[in-house]
Amino acid sequence: MSRRRKLKSKSYEIEIESLSHEGRGISHMDNKVIFTRGALPGEKVIASRTLSRAKYEEADVTEILEPSSDRIEPKCSVYGICGGCSFQHLSSENQINAKQDWLQSAFKGQAKVEPKEWLKPMQIGSWGYRRKARLGVRYVAKKERVLVGFRERKSSFVTVMSRCEVLHPSLGDNLELLSECIERLSIKEHIPQIEVAIAEKDTILILRHLQPLTNKDEEVLSDFAQKLQITWYLQSGGLDTIKPLTKSVQLTYSIPDHSIEMSFLPNDFTQVNFELNKKMINLAIDLLELDEQDNVIDLFCGLGNFTLPISKYVNKVVGIEGDRGLVERAKENAEVNNISNAFFYKSDLFEDVSGFEWFRGQNYNKALIDPARTGAIEIVDLLPKLNVERLVYVSCNPATLARDTARLIDLGFYLENAGVMDMFPQTAHVESIALFTRKK
């Protein structure tokens, strides 16, 4: 059996030409592209190679010889080690400008088009925003210490961190206390991770445990729940094993501009940035130009995050989602909010949907799509069949948005507006929104 050859150490002195879509500096040397993590355009740096391929190499900055005027001091003491952030060396304003450039480049490269008008980049607070996360847990026997935090970059090791600047402060300020709690458990070696779900009023931590908890362990968790002001849930196996340690909590977030309160379960998908989410919903509604005659379809609707606010301004809105649990929660949220013109259906949108009642013979003059990173290339072909004239597409991946844009243009749509939204500050993640129109 062949063994992978160990990569020989190599350092280079390079000048950074531009930023890649992952936020790494781009330069060229010996007919190869060099992607350098932690470098900014215009800088001269010394970098150490971490990966070598036929056409490109990857490297990490080891010394900055000539810094960019855009470079700032990272706020976090473990930045560069922790894999949770990748952009703290660039100001928030320059981060969002870079993301807009990446979206523009994707449109030009894949769809050969630009929007008629660029939307102003959308930003909110850059720190303490993150309400959903998966934290690694590791008991280090040599140090007799439990580590709780994000994984190290390109590693399974847990970062040694006492606080996190991007996690919501209810947890981000209390990582040391959380580590102390796990250290006191008899099964501390058998705790691999903690799922975080922070609502507006409650913080839920789902403790993944590979061995049963003792009565004493449960007492320890209960004591620390009061200190941390959190509620413990336990997970011994798959998602169906998640249960509260003592009592369940009703998690909620509000959309006050539209008088909506959303309930969700700890393991449900929700946006990580509640404040940005509120602004995103408002923008989507403005772009759709809703009125009481509209029939709207919301594809990949989840809990009804967009569907229920839209319902306030239209004749009818239909939400389609592939996860049965999310569909049930969406229906419950509609009922609790006294909404009677929103209807939800469970459908796999990547299969033939022509026989479903929500599709067969129906007309929707407006639509919203909010797919996963893989995009919605199979779904956009449905839109002309439903007579959609105005579409808002929310995307978490510029590459698949640009690919789907090319298909939408083939189908007779026009790209009117587009812009980026800083859902994940301090990272290279790009959330974007685009408006398309189509004449019958």
- What one-character DSSP code corresponds to residue 167? B
Alpha-carbon distance of 194 to 136, in angstroms, equals: 7
404 labeled binding residue: no
What three-state secondary structure class fits 205?
strand
User: What is the token pair recorded at 183?
Assistant: 């250290």
Count Cβ atoms within 10 A of the Cβ of residue 196 and give its class: 0-12 exposed, 13-18 middle, 19 or more buried. Answer: buried
Annotated active-site residue 396? The verdict is yes
85 labeled binding residue: yes
User: What is the token pair recorded at 333?
Assistant: 């949220």
In 3D, which of 220, 393, 369 has the Cα closest to residue 298? Answer: 369
Alpha-carbon distance of 192 to 166, in angstroms, equals: 22
- What one-character DSSP code corresponds to residue 239? G
Query: Edge to edge, what strands does the sheet with 316-321 contain?
Result: 117-118, 413-421, 431-438, 390-395, 366-369, 295-299, 316-321, 342-346
Element containing residue 437 per DSSP (H, E): strand 431-438
Contact call for residues 179 and 146 (beta carbons, < 8 A): yes
The residues near 361 (Cβ < 8 Å, ≥ 6 apart) are none
Strand pairing report for 243-244 and 203-208:
unpaired
300 labeled binding residue: yes
How much helix, strand and coil, in percent to the nearest 5, is found in the chain? 25, 30, 45
Site of tokens 């306030």: 312
305 labeled binding residue: yes
348 labeled binding residue: yes
Q: Say how many C-beta atoms besides its own lie within 10 A of residue 332's C-beta.
A: 15
Contact call for residues 437 and 413 (beta carbons, < 8 A): yes
Site of tokens 């239209």: 314
Per annotation, catalytic residue among 396, 418, 423, 433? 396
183 labeled binding residue: no
76 labeled binding residue: yes
- Positive or negative, the Cα torsion across 149, 151, 156, 159? negative
Contact call for residues 206 and 242 (beta carbons, < 8 A): yes
294 labeled binding residue: no
Alpha-carbon distance of 166 to 424, in angstroms, equals: 9
Alpha-carbon distance of 250 to 254, in angstroms, equals: 13
Contact call for residues 129 and 276 (beta carbons, < 8 A): yes
Q: Give the residue numbers of the binding site for [4Fe-4S] cluster.
A: 76, 82, 85, 164
Q: Give the residue numbers of the binding site.
A: 76, 82, 85, 164, 271, 300, 305, 321, 348, 370
Q: Give the residue numbers of the binding site for S-adenosyl-L-methionine.
A: 271, 300, 305, 321, 348, 370
Catalogue the active-site residues: 396
